[in-house]
Amino acid sequence: MFMLQIATGLRPGEALGLTWDNVDFENKILHITKAVRRERDENDISHMVFAPTKTKRSRDMELLDEAIEILKRQRELQNAEKKRLGNAYTDLNLIFATKTGQILERPHVAQTLALIRKQMRIIRAEELHKDISEVEEPNFTLHSLRHTFATRALEQDIPLKVVSDWLGHTTIRITGDIYSHALPAKRRNSIQRLTGITTDHYKNGQNRGQVQNDE
């Protein structure tokens, strides 16, 4: 799930709500139609349920080849688990589920990510030949995986509107505001592409016998 989030920028709830019918393997398209969340019923009993996405809008996203491979590997692992458990597995068609097929809860997934952070700290300490107390634990959350995807996309000059659509934001302004940290460097790089524009324009004007005054 974490790998797919980095490759797609899905919100945690959207990733947890994915079902296999959301994946078009042939055309490499992911249909993001729902999320999962905890709600209370009329008896005030709490349940995990399928719900609309945060913006209450569905969207489609083109998938990287590596994302397709992640999903195929997950399907293999899940099928093996189904075969092992037999009737003990409740098949809700979820891509990411508990060992018995139930809806995964976000706190449980966050705890798993916390264990990964701790393990990364240990590995980093070993690499640096330092005591673990001298090495800081990486600071990232489930939402950081989404932010990584968006930042890398903008750094690769993918248009802001495209990234906004992928992320499921209601407006391009929201995307620009959230990821403004990734944009100044791109603007600086972009302006360099205009190097020589004044001299070229002046020379072209001279060739025509005049320099045009453009607004």
Q: Work out whether the CA dihedral 9, 98, 51, 71 comes out positive or negative.
A: positive
Which among 29, 28, 34, 30 is positioned nearest to 14, based on CA atoms?
34
Predicted confidence (pLDDT) at residue 212 exceeds the cutoff of 80: no
Question: Rounded distance, CA 1 to CA 16, Å?
Answer: 8
* Token pair belonging to 210: 């005049």
Question: Rounded distance, CA 136 to CA 117, Å?
Answer: 10
The residue extents of the domains of the chain are: 1-104, 106-139, 142-205
pLDDT band at 43 (very low <50, low <70, confident <90, very high): confident
Question: Does the pTM of the predicted model rise above 0.85?
Answer: no
pLDDT band at 193 (very low <50, low <70, confident <90, very high): low
Question: Rounded distance, CA 126 to CA 124, Å?
Answer: 5
Residue labelled with tokens 């001299």: 199
Query: What CATH number was assigned to the domain covering residues 1-104?
Result: 1.10.443.10
> How far from each other are the two terminal CA atoms of the chain, in whole angstroms?
51
29-32: strand order across its sheet = 23-24, 29-32, 59-62
Interval 129-175: pLDDT, tens = 999 999 999 988 889 999 999 999 988 889 999 999 999 999 999 99
Residues 6+ apart with CB under 8 A from 147: 179
CB 34 within 8 A of CB 108: no
Interval 77-134: pLDDT, tens = 999 999 999 999 999 999 999 999 999 999 999 999 999 999 999 999 999 999 999 9
